[in-house]
Structure 1
Amino acid sequence: MLVFWKERLILLAVPKTGTTALEGALAPRAQFVLRDPPQIKHAPLYRARRFVVPLIEAAGGSGFETVAAVREPVDWLGSWWRYRQRDDLAGQVNSTRGVGFDDFVDQFARGKPAPYAAVGSQARFVGDGEGNVAVDHLFRYESMELLVGFLEERLATRIDLPRVNVSPEHPMDLPEHVASKLRRKRAAEFSVWEQARA
């Protein structure tokens, strides 16, 4: 999470949406940089409102807007699935080694997924707790150039985004019955992505 004081802007770090690259490019320009541990870096909107905004207001700040990116849900899950196949997770409950992508998605679509598929919710991350998008400026990861353009204009700076923290490529075949279940059980994930600027 990055806070830009003069511009009254908070950049939320939705996991697996290019936020590490944005942080690398913009951290020197931000007044607050919340990068570790991951629970702080990736604090969702409701947590930012509960802890960060009161801190800002106590220091005399007001009128801050939020900006974030969300990723197409199947692609987002694919990034998580690939990321959790890395060597340092081998043998741990959140490792996806030996787990097919279809099984990973099927687990994610359940009410209580297995630990390896418990990756949170983009909809909850950017929502108000009642099913509505509450981030002021929401962009699609797939249209990163729009987000970069918005930030360049708002922050009056040039942004050069390197590719960092990229998960290795693996085939991601998803049978229709699993894709349908995901859309049915996790409709909010698709709704949020469809509402984002593209």
Structure 2
Amino acid sequence: MLVFWKQRLVMLAVPKTGTSAYATALGPLASMVVSDPPELKHAPVYRYNRFFRPMFEKVGGADMELLAVIREPISWLGSWYRYRQRGFLDGRPTSTRDMTFDDFCQAYAQGDRPPFANVGSQAKFVEPRPNGVSVTHLFKYENQSGLIGFLEDRLGVTLDLPRENVSPRRDTDLSAATEEKLRRKCAEDFDVWERAI
């Protein structure tokens, strides 16, 4: 999470959406960089609302705007699948080694997800709170030029993004039946992505 106090902007770090590169490029300009623990670095709207918003409001930050980036859901799951193929996870319940992407997505689409498919939901991450706190600027990961343009204009900088935390290449083909199941069971994620800029 990056906080730009003077610009009244908080960039939430949705996992697997390239936020590590933005943190590297913009961290020196931020008033606050939350990089650990992961539960705070990747604080969703509900956690921001509970922990960060009250603190900011106490010191005059009631008008902070939230920015988040979300990725096309199948591509997002593909990034998680590839990330969890890395050697440091071998033998752990979160590893996707020796399974197909189709198997991973089938497990993700079931109600009680096994550890390797328990990666959350982008729709839940950006879900508005009952008190009105919500993401003000929601960008598609696939619209990097729009996101960069917004940040350059808002922060008064020129961005040169590094490539960071890139997952290894793997086959991420899906059967038509699995894709249909994902679109049905995870409809909120597809709807939120469709509404993003």
Same fold judged by TM-score > 0.5? yes
Partner SS, residue 143 of structure 2: helix
The answer to whether structure 1 residue 156 and structure 2 residue 156 are counterparts is: yes
**2:11 alignment counterpart:** 11
Partner SS, residue 91 of structure 1: coil
CA contact (8 A) 1:127 1:133 kept: no
CA contact (8 A) 1:8 1:62 kept: no
5+ residue gaps, structure 2, are none
Shift of 1:134: 2.9
Deviations along 1:11-56, one digit per CA (max 9) or x if unpaired, are 0000000000000001110111101121111010110011011111
**2:49 alignment counterpart:** 49
CA distance in 1, matches of 2:34, 2:133: 23
**1:95 alignment counterpart:** 95
**2:186 alignment counterpart:** 186
Partner SS, residue 22 of structure 1: helix
Shift of 1:135: 0.9
Shift of 1:58: 1.6
**1:36 alignment counterpart:** 36
Deviations along 1:158-180, one digit per CA (max 9) or x if unpaired, are 11111110001111110000000
The answer to whether structure 1 residue 196 and structure 2 residue 193 are counterparts is: no
CA contact (8 A) 1:126 1:133 kept: no
Runs of 4+ residues deviating >2 angstroms:
none
Aligned partner of 1:90: which letter?
D
Shift of 1:104: 0.4
TM-score by length of 1: 0.96
Distance 1:144 1:161, change over 3 A: same
Distance 1:129 1:91, change over 3 A: farther
Deviations along 1:41-82, one digit per CA (max 9) or x if unpaired, are 101011001101111112222200000100000000000000
Partner SS, residue 142 of structure 1: coil
CA distance in 1, matches of 2:170, 2:38: 25
**2:62 alignment counterpart:** 62
Partner SS, residue 110 of structure 2: coil
Aligned partner of 2:139: which letter?
F
**2:126 alignment counterpart:** 126
Shift of 1:112: 1.3
CA contact (8 A) 1:102 1:173 kept: yes
**2:137 alignment counterpart:** 137
CA contact (8 A) 1:133 1:192 kept: no
CA contact (8 A) 2:45 2:129 kept: no
Shift of 1:129: 5.6
CA contact (8 A) 1:71 1:141 kept: yes
CA distance in 2, matches of 1:81, 1:133: 31
Aligned residues: 196
